[in-house]
Amino acid sequence: MVTSSSSSDQHDHGVPEVYVGVSASSEEALLHFDAAFDPFEPDQRLLGGTPARTLAQSMMDLVESLKRIDIDRVSRRQSWWHRFTGADLEARLELEVAAHCLAGDMHATTVAAATAREARDAMKADIPKLDAAQRSHERLGEATAAILQGADTASPVVARLQRRLGNLEALTASNKLVRAQMQLAIEHLDGLLDRFADIEQLLFPVWQRHALAVSQGAGPAEETPRLVQQLQSVHARFTQALISTRTVTP
């Protein structure tokens, strides 16, 4: 009756499994190392651009656009004289144009947010792959260090294998740093995108409705001051929400 060998039986006198049947001074040891090395390939979308910085900058551009919109000017031109001279209409038309321009800026920010979301999701998907590669690299490093113990240091092959081990150890150390940086980037993007979601889904639509209502003179004339006051309040909250994103920008 033939029984299967245990994994420990597959080692030649304690030689690590990766190098069973070969010596450190054999060219085969290099081939075994190369075959066992499993490189980590990051998502190509992460190799270019700075999505967090782009999104944060786009949101700051929105702040500047909001600062250029003078809601107080609309408020100041609501008297009977301004209505008589048409100054109130001029102010409302300027507000309508500004509202449409801001909508364009908001669209650009939404595009930047979508890119940032893709980058965050790509990093979240890459971390388990990086962890798996790291475990594989550590096992290969341990096996290589073990087979090199007592090896002939004068052998050119041993020197090459030692060099491979040194590079592998540098890579595993670098991967730990990369993982920590990826985790920080994910947390940063989570915070930035969460704040933008509030702006996109709540503050901007409310601001836009109020701005268009004022600019189009919706409702009785006596209601306009109240609408302008509401717009001023929403405008201030919108601006503050955008400015507060700086607290999550590295």
- Compute the distance between CA of residue 8 and CA of residue 246 in angstroms, rounded to an integer: 57
Encode pLDDT of 42-70 as tens digits. 776 666 678 888 998 999 889 888 888 87
Q: Higher confidence at residue 1 or residue 101?
A: 101
Are residues 213 and 228 in contact, defined by beta-carbon separation less than 8 angstroms?
no
29 or 50, higher pLDDT = 29
Residues 6+ apart with CB under 8 A from 42: 126, 130
Does residue 3 register a pLDDT over 70? no
pLDDT at 2 (0 to 100):
33
Instruction: Tell which residue, 218, 207, 185, has the closest CA to residue 106.
Output: 207
The residue among 23, 22, 20 whose CA lies nearest residue 9 is: 20
Give, as one character, the DSSP assignment of residue 217: T
Nearest to 166 by CA among 137, 187, 194: 137
Q: Give the 3-state secondary structure percentages of the chain, helix then strand then coil, rounded to 5.
A: 80, 0, 20
pLDDT of residue 39: 86
How confident is the model over 15-37, as a mean pLDDT? 87
Q: pLDDT tens digit string along 191-208?
A: 999 989 999 999 999 988
Q: Is the pTM of this model over 0.75?
A: no
Which of 38-42, 122-126, 154-158, 180-184 is the least confident region?
38-42
pLDDT at 8: 37
